[in-house]
Chain A
Amino acid sequence: MASVAPGLDEIRARAKPFPKRHFLSVTDLDPIRVGELLDLAEGFVALNRQPSKKIDLLKGRTQINLFFEASTRTQSSFELAGKRLGADVINMSPRASSISKGETLVDTAVTLNAMQPDILIIRHAASGAASLLSQKVDCSVVNAGDGQHEHPSQALLDALSMRRAFGHIDGLTVAICGDVLHSRVARSNVALLTMMGARVRLVGPPTLMPASAARWGVEVVHDMKAGIRGADVVMMLRLQFERMQGALVPSTREYFRLWGLDREKLARAAPGARVMHPGPMNRGVEIDSEVADDLAVSLVQDQVEMGVAVRMAVLASLSARLDNR
């Protein structure tokens, strides 16, 4: 896939204005927009592999990363994406401290809004937090994960990883396995993959499956071995201990035995199947290191690389919309 990185003018020409002011949900996009964003991201993949990775597309723009929940991967990915496009990026992690001082999300939003940012990237532990914030500010808001609701840029980077590995998304069978109940990654991926024509299976114990998942246009399977049979992509989800109230699974060793991905279970997937994980991984809980680290099957490193490129595409597209305003 190595190609010549496009220049600034070419990127400017290719970056179509984002369809909405904010990017809160996969449902803000349609299949054509997704294709355009992924194409744009391909150009950034090439750029990011050059010694000089920086262009001035977002010069003068201010991007604030507002992460109420700890995150290494997503926050640094958005930070790099903004900086490589020439934006001024600052990181804020209010977390519990300002909440204990009585400041609410809306207070924070209003304060930040007065600083005239162009793009706010938000992560928050409550579903709908990004939407709430977007109603109170004048800039563009990108949802970098809201509770158990959505993480749309993750679904885009997963789609780009799959498209590069298989050449297409349409017609792939994707098994999303594990803690679907608490997973915003699963919800965004179900929406994007079904929109792009993939067949999706959700695999996991009934206690980690939303009651209504069968009505999401997917197949729900509780037995892992049956669930990944013939799958082209096996996407493992992180078991979210921190969100679990009460007994949802008896123990991590039982979980690993029944739903953890190891070579033996993976052998039931389609020949040439690839393994994905949004990270951070609980090794020996939902995934065996042997599988996670096998570069012949694992797309985990690609996912991280694609993350920066896809987020550059999203920022470029949102900025193009701001230019038009």
Chain B
Amino acid sequence: MTGQPLAFIGARLVDPETGYDGPGSLLTADGCIARVSRGDTLPGLPGDARVIDAVGALLCPGLIDLRVKTGEPGSEPKETLKSASRAAAAGGVTSIVVMPDTDPPVDEPSVVDFVLRRARDIELVHVYPAGAATRGLEGKALAEIGLMREAGCVFVTDADRPIVDSRVMRRLLAYAGGLGVLVAHRPADPWLTAGAAASEGEFAGRMGLPSEPPAAETIMLERDLALLELTAPTGARLMVDQVSAEGALETLRKSKDRGLPVIATASINHLTFNELDIGDYRTFWKLTPPLRGEADRAALVDAVASGLIDIIVSAHAPAPAEDKRLPFEEATPGSVGLETLLPALLTLWHEGQAPLLRLLETVTLAPARAIGSEAGRLAVGAPADLILCDIDAPRIIDANLLLSKSKNSAFDGRRLQGRVLMTVVDGRIVWEASAGAP
């Protein structure tokens, strides 16, 4: 069901693919973008089209979030695919990639199929499973990558668990590369990060928190890139999951300059906060990787602006109150983020930290290309995955009003700018702001 055609008239169109940022109108039909005009009118509209006055609003591709955790299957009280889909729709995220570290893990084709069938029944946003890279996420034996790709997984990753054994990592890159499957890996030296709750430095030292040095990231990244070089001839491609430290950026730059097939993500949390936001042991700011110093955050924002970081993710990680209302060391890391990703990005732009087109590219076109999706652009024939937003609307985030089942938002109480007015997936309106909505 694709619904009636939608005609957005008089919007500010932003298309990361062409770099266009200016006035325009857009028509959807049969789930796709049917016409795009750089004018205030669309003559000859079909009779059944719903005309949407978009004057003063920004129309751009819907967001594509490559790092979303839910609790389904296995920990449904945290978050279900349905609650995550509703949160995504409200946040202007039209595609989510869900992590495989569920119970059971998504490490074989039947679980991939389960997730896809659940998503089809929910029929809100696109849900793409990421498959486990290794069986049981144990870092020992390769998962059935080929069968999972056939079932519909878009890349493989062991999520938060680093693959420690270098030989396994080498084989993973080579094998997945041969099948044309992207590998995502979060670089973290398992020994340096063992037991850590914060990033090493003055803050963690004073607070008496067990900490990991930022070098733990660089060390593992250096290894991964050396292995990527070894396996690149097979077609290996690596996505560095959530770069957080300034030192790792330098390592990444060298490899990119040499043309290695590597892309990198950063989470919106690490672009917005630094370790001082933890304050008096506030567990909503306990994240993996841990929040680092302000110099790291600023370097990360610069890397987004320069293109060194390709993709921004929400790193949506729901944790119920009982997992967060604990002493900092014992609390579960992570923050929900689907509903705050867009306003947090827009706030970075309002603050002059990075250009708007570039920021939107990192959550639309760039992730679309990473997973081989045709979305993420305003081109005729592309899927009609769109958002209409008010990019200026000021708001104070109230975690209790979020649609996620878990309310652990690092943005709770934060002043942000930007509000989604309408979310469209395959030409269907899946979310529309009511007057006076937060």
The chain A residues found within 8 Å of chain B, CB to CB, are 104-106, 124, 126-129, 131-132, 146-150, 184, 187, 210-213, 215-216, 245-246
Name which of B84-92, B166-174, B322-330 contacts chain A: B322-330
Report Cα–Cα, A184/B204, bound state, in Å: 13
**Set of chain A residues within 8 Å of B328, measured between Cβ atoms:** 126-128
Q: Are B280 and A212 in contact (CB under 8 A)?
A: no
Given contacts A127-B209, A216-B206, A245-B194, whether A211 and B329 have CB atoms under 8 Å apart is no
Q: Are B201 and A212 in contact (CB under 8 A)?
A: yes
Q: Closest A residue to B325 by CB, please name it.
A: A106
Residue of A126, A184, A211 near B201 (CB, 8 A) is: A211
Q: Are A106 and B326 in contact (CB under 8 A)?
A: yes
Q: Are A147 and B327 in contact (CB under 8 A)?
A: yes
Report Cα–Cα, A76/B325, bound state, in Å: 29
Report Cα–Cα, A128/B282, bound state, in Å: 9
CB neighbors of A among B323-339 (8 A): 325-330
Min CB gap B326→A, angstroms: 6
Residue of A128, A187, A211 near B281 (CB, 8 A) is: A128
Q: Are B207 and A127 in contact (CB under 8 A)?
A: yes
A-B contact pairs, 10 of them (CB 8 A): A104-B322, A126-B329, A127-B207, A128-B329, A129-B327, A132-B281, A147-B209, A148-B208, A148-B209, A211-B200
Report Cα–Cα, A276/B37, bound state, in Å: 80
Majority DSSP secondary structure for residues of B touching A:
loop
**Set of chain B residues within 8 Å of A149, measured between Cβ atoms:** 207-209
Q: Are A211 and B327 in contact (CB under 8 A)?
A: no
The residue in A128, A129, A131, A132 that gathers the most chain B C-beta atoms within 10 A of its C-beta is: A128
Q: Are B207 and A211 in contact (CB under 8 A)?
A: no
Residue B351, interface by CB 8 Å: no
Residue B56, interface by CB 8 Å: no
Q: Are A187 and B208 in contact (CB under 8 A)?
A: yes
Q: Closest A residue to B326 by CB, please name it.
A: A104
Q: Are A132 and B327 in contact (CB under 8 A)?
A: yes
Residue of B204, B280, B327 near A105 (CB, 8 A) is: B327
Report Cα–Cα, A106/B207, bound state, in Å: 20
Report the contact-size class of chain B (Cβ under 8 Å from the partner). 20 to 34
Supply 16 further A-B pairs (C-beta < 8 A) apart from A128-B209, A187-B208.
A104-B322, A106-B325, A124-B327, A126-B329, A127-B207, A132-B327, A147-B208, A147-B209, A149-B209, A187-B206, A211-B211, A212-B201, A212-B204, A212-B206, A216-B205, A246-B191
Residue B152, interface by CB 8 Å: no
Report Cα–Cα, A23/B329, bound state, in Å: 21
Q: Closest B residue to A191 by CB, please name it.
A: B206
The chain B residues found within 8 Å of chain A, CB to CB, are 191, 194-195, 200-202, 204-211, 213, 280-281, 322, 325-330
Report Cα–Cα, A149/B210, bound state, in Å: 10
**Set of chain B residues within 8 Å of A211, measured between Cβ atoms:** 200-201, 205, 211, 213
**Set of chain A residues within 8 Å of B201, measured between Cβ atoms:** 211-212
Given contacts A149-B208, A187-B206, whether A127 and B195 have CB atoms under 8 Å apart is no
**Closest 5 pairs (CB-CB, A-B):** A128-B281, A126-B327, A148-B208, A149-B208, A210-B205
**Set of chain B residues within 8 Å of A124, measured between Cβ atoms:** 327
Given contacts A127-B207, A210-B205, whether A147 and B194 have CB atoms under 8 Å apart is no
Q: Closest A residue to B323 by CB, please name it.
A: A104
Residue of A126, A132, A187, A212 near B202 (CB, 8 A) is: A212
**Set of chain A residues within 8 Å of B213, measured between Cβ atoms:** 211
Report Cα–Cα, A215/B203, bound state, in Å: 10
Report Cα–Cα, A128/B204, bound state, in Å: 12
Min CB gap A100→B, angstroms: 14
Q: Closest B residue to A126 by CB, please name it.
A: B327
Residue of A105, A146, A147, A216 near B326 (CB, 8 A) is: A105
Min CB gap A136→B, angstroms: 8
Min CB gap A213→B, angstroms: 7
Residue of A104, A127, A213, A215 near B325 (CB, 8 A) is: A104
**Set of chain A residues within 8 Å of B205, measured between Cβ atoms:** 210-213, 216
Min CB gap B42→A, angstroms: 56
Report Cα–Cα, A245/B211, bound state, in Å: 12
Q: Closest A residue to B280 by CB, please name it.
A: A131
Report Cα–Cα, A124/B328, bound state, in Å: 12
The residue in B195, B200, B210, B211 that gathers the most chain A C-beta atoms within 10 A of its C-beta is: B210
The residue in B191, B326, B327, B330 that gathers the most chain A C-beta atoms within 10 A of its C-beta is: B327
Min CB gap A127→B, angstroms: 4
Min CB gap A143→B, angstroms: 11
Min CB gap A207→B, angstroms: 13
Q: Are B327 and A128 in contact (CB under 8 A)?
A: yes
**Set of chain A residues within 8 Å of B280, measured between Cβ atoms:** 128, 131
Report Cα–Cα, A213/B204, bound state, in Å: 11
**Set of chain A residues within 8 Å of B204, measured between Cβ atoms:** 212
**Set of chain A residues within 8 Å of B325, measured between Cβ atoms:** 104, 106, 132
Min CB gap B304→A, angstroms: 28
Q: Are B327 and A127 in contact (CB under 8 A)?
A: yes
Min CB gap A282→B, angstroms: 21
The residue in B194, B200, B205 that gathers the most chain A C-beta atoms within 10 A of its C-beta is: B205
**Set of chain B residues within 8 Å of A106, measured between Cβ atoms:** 325-326
Min CB gap A111→B, angstroms: 14
Given contacts A129-B327, A131-B281, whether A215 and B208 have CB atoms under 8 Å apart is no
Report Cα–Cα, A124/B195, bound state, in Å: 17
Q: Are B200 and A127 in contact (CB under 8 A)?
A: no
Report Cα–Cα, A246/B328, bound state, in Å: 22
Q: Closest A residue to B200 by CB, please name it.
A: A211
**Set of chain A residues within 8 Å of B330, measured between Cβ atoms:** 126
Given contacts A104-B322, A127-B329, whether A150 and B281 have CB atoms under 8 Å apart is no
Min CB gap B321→A, angstroms: 9
**Set of chain B residues within 8 Å of A129, measured between Cβ atoms:** 327
